[in-house]
Amino acid sequence: MESVVIQQPNNLVIEQRELPEPRKGDVRVRVKLAGICGSDSHIYRGHNPFAKYPRVIGHEVFGVIDKVGEGVDTRRIGERVALDPVISCGECYPCSIGKPNVCTSLVVLGVHRDGGFSEYVTAPARNAYVIPETIPDRHAVMVEPFTIAANVTGQVEPTENDIALIYGAGPMGLTTLQALKGVYNVGTVIVADRIEERLAMAKTCGADVILNNSELTLQSWLEEKGIKPTLIVDAACHPAILQEAIGLASPAARIVLMGFSSDPCVITQQGITGKELSIFSSRLNAHKFPTVIEWMEKGFIDPEKLITHQFDYYHITDALEIFEKDQRQCCKVLLTFSA
């Protein structure tokens, strides 16, 4: 089989590898589609501190089970499945309280273990979620990015009365936007970004207000309208955003962080405690595949609106280049591994 391997940072090859045998409890999946995510690019460029090389990247994976390991029901062969990249121990403290996404021995497919940019991949059987026939392949591969949004929104229980502000109209901001509007019917969702084309996508995805905060400050716009957001999601992830969000937030608001920056940021306790703000963080997803599959079945979200490109996997270098360099035209890029 062929696999996309990052041998060392900035060194990508399509390598001939032996077909993997599914181990005990695992399934082997013949990959049909995989999605490119910022973290794939980070591993490629050597910007992910957790990555070990050589590594087959890819954690947004859809395909068909073609073989099962010991202990797995052989009737699963032939199932159309999306793979949850979060592989956890099931026993540690975070696992015991329903947060396998921060398992003390967390393994992420495509980061700590070879992932889905490959003709075949193996994963634990319990990580392979059956996709109903009503969900097409192109949407099935989008389950994982929407689980990030499901995890974010799951932390804060949005309501129709919320006035939400999302920083960033990249794939993460847009999945969160679709969840807030389509699933929770949040009354007002404001999306801020610096790229007009991305703001236009936010409009298509249901934003009530789009704001280009390279042209104006959010503070001046919100103050003029007398709006204090009750829910703020940072899907842009610059370390300076938290303090700004604390200032803009309504008393009793919730703020959700998604960023992994290791740069320090300056925040004031008074800003938080004075308004009794709740600050949440969200990493990957905690058992959110069934939730998102249900959202898709019910038509609450529309993954098609985020897909801008699809390439055959042997054009991976071009695909990654477009993904990295063309944020104006590019949102979700898919790779085809088999028909």
From the list Mn ion, ligand NAI, Zn ion, none, partner contacted by residue 230 (C-beta under 5 to 8 A by kind) = none
Rounded least distance, CB 143 to ligand NAI, Å: 14
300 contacts 182 by C-beta, under 8 angstroms: yes
Q: Which stretch binds ligand NAI (CB under 6 A): 48-56, 84-92, 106-114, 233-241?
A: 233-241
Q: Please, which residue, 95 or 190, has the CB nearer to ligand NAI?
A: 190
128 binds, among ligand NAI, Zn ion, Mn ion, none (CB under 5 to 8 A by kind): none
Shortest CB 113 distance to Zn ion, Å: 15
Q: Which residue in 44, 129, 167, 295 binds ligand NAI (CB under 6 A)?
A: 167
Piece in contact with ligand NAI (CB under 6 A), picked from 20-28, 111-119, 127-135, 187-195: 187-195
With H, G, I as helix, E, B as strand and everything else as coil, classify residue 68: strand
Closer CB to ligand NAI, residue 79 or residue 84? 84
Partner whose binding site includes residue 168, from Zn ion, ligand NAI, Mn ion, none (CB under 5 to 8 Å by kind): ligand NAI
Question: Going by C-beta distance under 8 Å and a sequence separation of 6 or more, which residues neighbour residue 173?
Answer: 166, 167, 191, 193, 202, 233, 235, 236
Query: Token pair for residue 338?
Result: 């088999």
Q: Which of 168, 206, 229, 303 binds ligand NAI (CB under 6 A)?
A: 168
Which residue sits closest to ligand NAI, CB atoms considered? 170
Residue with tokens 């690019």: 41
> Is 110 a residue that touches ligand NAI (CB under 6 A)?
no
Q: Which residues in this chain contact Mn ion in the complex, by CB under 5 A?
A: 37
User: What DSSP designation does 66 have?
Assistant: E
DSSP-assigned beta bridge partners for residue 229:
none
Alpha-carbon gap, residue 253 to 267, rounded angstroms: 16
We find the least distance from the C-beta atom of residue 99 to Zn ion, in angstroms, to be 9
Nearest to 39 by CA among 131, 122, 110, 107: 110
- Closest CB to ligand NAI among 122 and 151? 151
Selection from 26, 87, 254 nearest residue 161 by Cα: 254
Question: Which three-class secondary structure state does DSSP give residue 248?
Answer: helix
Encoding tokens for residue 324? 């990295």
Q: Which of 235, 245, 277, 293 binds ligand NAI (CB under 6 A)?
A: 235
71: left (phi over 0), alpha (psi -120 to 50) or beta: left
| DSSP letters spanning 25-55 | TEEEEEEEEEEE-HHHHHHHTT--TT--SSE
Residue 194: name its binding partner from ligand NAI, Mn ion, Zn ion, none (Cβ under 5 to 8 Å by kind).
Answer: ligand NAI
- Is residue 208 within 8 Å of residue 188, measured between CB atoms? yes
Q: Which is nearer to ligand NAI, 70 or 215 (CB)?
A: 215
Q: How many CB atoms lie within 10 A of CB 115?
A: 27
Selection from Zn ion, Mn ion, ligand NAI, none that 92 binds (CB < 5 to 8 A by kind) is: Zn ion
- Least distance from Zn ion to the Cβ atom of residue 105, Å: 6
Is 103 one of the binding residues for Zn ion (CB under 5 A)?
yes
* Strands of 258-305, DSSP E: 278-281
- Give the interface segment with Zn ion, choosing from 80-88, 125-133, 193-201, 265-273 (CB under 5 A): 80-88
Nearest by Cα to 176 from 139, 219, 206: 206
Residue from 25, 38, 69, 182 in contact with ligand NAI (CB under 6 A):
38
Interface pick for ligand NAI out of 131, 148, 277, 293 (rule CB under 6 A): 148
For residue 71, how many other CB atoms are within 10 A of its CB?
10
Give contact residues for Zn ion (rule: CB under 5 A): 88-89, 92, 95, 103
